[in-house]
Amino acid sequence: MIGIGVVPGMAKAKTYLLDEDAFLDEKKIVDDPETEYQRFLAAKEVCAAQLEEIMKAMPETMAADSREIFDYQLLLLEDTGFLGMIRTAVENDHTNCEYAVTIAAQKYITLFENMDNDYLKQRTIDMVDISRRLNAILTGREQKTLSGIMEDSIVAAEDLTPSQTAGINRDRVKGILLERGGSSSHSVIIARAMDIPCIVGITRLLDQAVHGETVIMNGTTGEVTPNPTPEQIREYEVYAAKAELEKQQLDQYRKCKTETLDGAKLQVYANITSETDVTALLENGGEGVGLFRTEFLYMAGETLPSEELQYKVYSSIAKKLEGKPLIIRTLDAGGDKNIASLGIEKEENPFLGYRAIRYCLDHPELFKMQIAAVLRAGAWGNTAFMLPMIATIDEVRRTRAMAEEVQAELASKGIPHTATIRMGMMVETPAAAFDAERFAREVDFFSIGTNDLTQYLFAADRMNQRVTGLNSYFQPTLLRAIKHICQCGKQNGIEVDICGQAGEIPSLVPIWVAIGIDNLSVSIPSIPRVRKIIRETRKSDAEAVLEKVLELDTAQEVERFLGQQFR
């Protein structure tokens, strides 16, 4: 089986099949519809009590988003349309209430699915969730959730509902396989937040997966191997042993300084998506947050995060970092990140469309909320803004003016906030790269977003498999562009970071050292590995290699040459 790997990493465990089907309940004819309906009403009360219970058990920071989902489900239980349909089926057609619940839910699901509105399509999961819960109560069968899993498992399901993930047992759930689910679905966000390897879009998964059967999954390639052969198990064990050994060897690189053999100092930051990442970042020796992807705050909930919620999250992270930098990227909506609650229309070319700073500057109310939250969090630590998708000087100036306005408002209201507006920009459009010298005069730091910079530089969609060859970080054109950006930054006395995937590619790390990059912001597990490479690099040697690399013509030549130079 194969699907789309959305959270990388390999896992081997027994399959835990979550194959509940809300629509299994058969139609039965009851003799006494009145008593039957009373049975439903009693189940409804139990259901409401369970939902209240789940909401109460949620940690506070998660609550604001996730609690809304259950609050909405509580209203579904009181919905006269939904209830009326169940009542009619029981009282007029004398059907059992399990069947009545199923039909009523199915009717709304069909209605939602036929609407031209992505947000409404996502609401089907709540109908499925509530009808399953009701039917579990009615039949007295146990509802399978991920909180009760006692042995190491790889969960296989069609998709996961909010109820199922609410108490997910992260120590036991080693991987998640889904038949449905896009990269921004509820289940994937949870998997990503908890760093559980995850594969979505596996065709006919539920027909093929067997509960209790051992399976190996690879969240990087999307491969699923049920009943692995001894040979495949050995391969996995080699991987697992290597991963474990590497982890041990890298232990010493968690705490030491980041400097080259000849004393050049850098810092290794990490990219985070939520507050829960900070503990792992500190454990791995991250020297700061080089990129906080705030869009996940916007994706996690059904609604937009308020200024208060954002302030709570940002300030809490800033405190935990104890003075280490926290670079907060302002909302980078659009492109491959569809945020349902923003209601951005589908576009022909989302990567070239209405996204990130373009959207934010057009929605000052929304943007100012985030700016205010960042400025307020600045009272608790070392925070900075980072603006995504900057293509014109004007965008930087308008944002700065807006930040100054917000700052004045906070001051007039006597709300504590930072007095300095530290504002950096992502360099990811060819316009910003080409004119880096001008941009460097406008901002406090550069952060090179190599993923987007590469796709825009080569005009090659990074989601399109057929042009992946163009999207290579070994393209000499890209390396020359990055060198140019870095030089422009240095000439203006600002720091230059890399926060894209290229920052952690082993054979490129010495190149970044040679180019003079100040900070590399990498994925959390890669922090010690990147630091190890830096500590084993001599900057003067790397500079000599860089000189030769910049003379090469093709990505293949660069990759081969670097492979020879740095093992």
How far apart, in whole angstroms, are the C-alpha atoms of residue 54 and residue 162? 10
DSSP assignment, residue 503?
A: G
CB within 8 A of 104, min separation 6: which ones? 82, 85, 86, 89, 131
- Segment interacting with another protein (CB under 8 A) among 117-125, 142-150, 261-269, 454-462: 117-125
Q: Which two tokens stand for residue 110?
A: 């069909």
Q: For residue 544, state whether it binds another protein (rule: CB under 8 A).
A: no
Of 38, 49, 81, 211, which one interacts with another protein (CB under 8 A)?
A: 81
For the bound state, the minimum distance from the C-beta of residue 309 to another protein, rounded and expressed in Å, comes to 10
371, 440, 449, 523 from 503: Cα distances, Å: 27, 21, 9, 9
Q: For residue 304, state whether it binds another protein (rule: CB under 8 A).
A: yes
Q: For residue 369, state whether it binds another protein (rule: CB under 8 A).
A: yes
Q: For residue 354, state whether it binds another protein (rule: CB under 8 A).
A: no
Of 112, 311, 439, 446, which one interacts with another protein (CB under 8 A)?
A: 112
Q: For residue 134, state whether it binds another protein (rule: CB under 8 A).
A: no
CB atoms inside a 10 Å sphere around CB 306? 13
Strands (DSSP E) along 279-401, which ranges? 289-293, 325-329, 382-387
Alpha helices in 58-123 (DSSP H): 60-76, 80-91, 97-113, 118-122
Q: For residue 416, state whether it binds another protein (rule: CB under 8 A).
A: no
- Segment interacting with another protein (CB under 8 A) among 104-112, 234-242, 346-354, 457-465: 104-112
HSE-CB of 125 using CA atoms within 13 angstroms: 20
Of 12, 87, 123, 355, which one interacts with another protein (CB under 8 A)?
A: 123
DSSP string, 253-281: GTTS--B-TT--B-EEEEEESSTTHHHHH
Q: For residue 306, state whether it binds another protein (rule: CB under 8 A).
A: yes
Element housing 495 (H / E): strand 495-498
Q: For residue 363, state whether it binds another protein (rule: CB under 8 A).
A: yes
For the bound state, the minimum distance from the C-beta of residue 187 to another protein, rounded and expressed in Å, comes to 17
Q: Residue 199 is which amino acid?
A: I
Of 7, 69, 90, 166, which one interacts with another protein (CB under 8 A)?
A: 69
- Residues in contact with another protein, counted by CB under 8 A, come to a total of 32
How far apart, in whole angstroms, are the C-alpha atoms of residue 73 and residue 127? 8
For the bound state, the minimum distance from the C-beta of residue 36 to another protein, rounded and expressed in Å, comes to 23
Q: For residue 71, state whether it binds another protein (rule: CB under 8 A).
A: yes
For the bound state, the minimum distance from the C-beta of residue 317 to another protein, rounded and expressed in Å, comes to 21
Residue number, 88 or 341, with CB nearest to another protein:
341
- Segment interacting with another protein (CB under 8 A) among 14-22, 161-169, 304-312, 410-418: 304-312
Please name which of 91, 65, 193, 82 lies closest in space to residue 130, comparing C-alpha atoms: 82
Active site residues: 186, 499
- Segment interacting with another protein (CB under 8 A) among 42-50, 65-73, 135-143, 257-265: 65-73
Long-range contacts of the stretch 102-108 (C-beta < 8 A, 24+): 102/22, 102/23, 102/25, 102/131, 102/135, 104/131, 105/22, 105/130, 105/131, 106/23, 108/82
Q: For residue 114, state whether it binds another protein (rule: CB under 8 A).
A: no
Q: For residue 220, state whether it binds another protein (rule: CB under 8 A).
A: no
DSSP string, 141-206: PPPP-TTS--S-EEEEES---HHHHTT--TTTEEEEEESS--TTSHHHHHHHHTT--EEE--TTHH
- Segment interacting with another protein (CB under 8 A) among 79-87, 225-233, 324-332, 491-499: 79-87
Of 30, 39, 93, 119, which one interacts with another protein (CB under 8 A)?
A: 119
Residues contributing to the site for another protein (CB under 8 A): 68-69, 71-72, 75-76, 78-82, 108, 111-112, 115, 117, 119-120, 123, 302-304, 306-307, 340-343, 363, 365-366, 369
